[in-house]
Structure 1
Amino acid sequence: MKTDKINDTYYGGFEGEPEIRLIYTNSDESYVLKIWNGYFETLLGCLIQIESVQSNILSEYDAHEGWYEESPWEVKNIRETLHLFDSFDIKNLTEEEAKSLTNILPVLPGLKDNIIILLQKAINRNGNVFIEYD
């Protein structure tokens, strides 16, 4: 029997707003990380400042393709995506960027850590990762 776990920590209080679901799944379990789109897009926007847009997830975000057009959208290169999120550090933001994100900035490190945990589970347990946009 498949076990399903849902973490809505990053969506609570934003009900009715656009929602992103990162989903890890394999034959035994699935784990869903529900995220307010504002948090997710802010994190990706910060990553674009420090990483190449050639990354599969960043190129999809930048072009508004992938999960924006096709949901669920499968993350093909989970290791690359893990490395991408692992590279995020709020210390790399300029002072101006940090000021513009005053209300969101404190949430980003925890969100990043939860995304990394999900991606690492998929790698360790030979699972798949999908992004759903609602």
Structure 2
Amino acid sequence: MEIINNKYYEGYEGEGEMQFIRYLSNGDKYVLKIWDGYFDEIMREIQPEENGWTGLAYYYNVEEPWWERPWKIQDIDIVIKQLRNIKTEQLNKEAKELLIELCDILSSSWELNEDVWIADE
């Protein structure tokens, strides 16, 4: 079964859309659809580490592979740490809520050893 959450894309239909796709251990697929403006707002708050960009921020700032095809998030634990370290004062209400949801999705998938992919639709 495919479960779709489009809460963070409603009202933005036809504009840029990101998808976080979690493959659940029970065989289901959970798809979180996001307006790319919210995603960009969150990603702008991640700063490079001492040795440069890492985790999701590396792909966002350097390679952007999701423009070409869906790709599996590597090092989910690093991505979780990056997202949890974001200072939310600068984020709007929806981006703050989305950040919490992304942390929850990634944390659960990491604990259960599930894959999460990103796609640009």
TM bin (shorter chain)? 0.7 to 0.9
Which of 89, 103, 114 does residue 127 from structure 1 map onto? 114
Identity of aligned residues (%): 27
Counterpart of 2:36? 37
Q: Which runs of 5+ in 2 are unaligned?
A: none
1:47-126 equivalence runs, <5 A: 47-48=46-47, 51-52=48-49, 53-69=52-68, 71-91=69-89, 98=90, 105-126=92-113
| Alpha-carbon distance in 1 for matches of 2:119, 2:58 | 17
* 1:84 maps to amino acid: Q
Q: 2:109, 2:115 within 8 Å by CA — same for their partners in 1?
A: yes
| Alpha-carbon distance in 2 for matches of 1:87, 1:67 | 23
| Alpha-carbon distance in 1 for matches of 2:108, 2:21 | 11
Greater C-alpha radius of gyration: 1
| Alpha-carbon distance in 2 for matches of 1:22, 1:129 | 7
- TM superposition shift of 1:72: 0.7
| Alpha-carbon distance in 1 for matches of 2:63, 2:10 | 25
Q: TM-score, normalised by structure 1?
A: 0.79
Describe the SS at the equivalent of 2:74.
coil
- TM superposition shift of 1:133: 0.3
Say how many residue pairs are matched. 118
What's the Cα RMSD here? 1.6
Counterpart of 2:5? 7
| Alpha-carbon distance in 1 for matches of 2:38, 2:53 | 21
Per the alignment, do residues 125 and 77 of structure 1 end up closer, same or farther by CA in structure 2, a change over 3 Å counting?
A: same
Q: Which runs of 5+ in 1 are unaligned?
A: 92-97, 99-103
| Alpha-carbon distance in 2 for matches of 1:65, 1:59 | 8
Q: 2:45, 2:87 within 8 Å by CA — same for their partners in 1?
A: no
* 2:92 maps to amino acid: L
Which of 18, 21, 25 does residue 20 from structure 1 map onto? 18
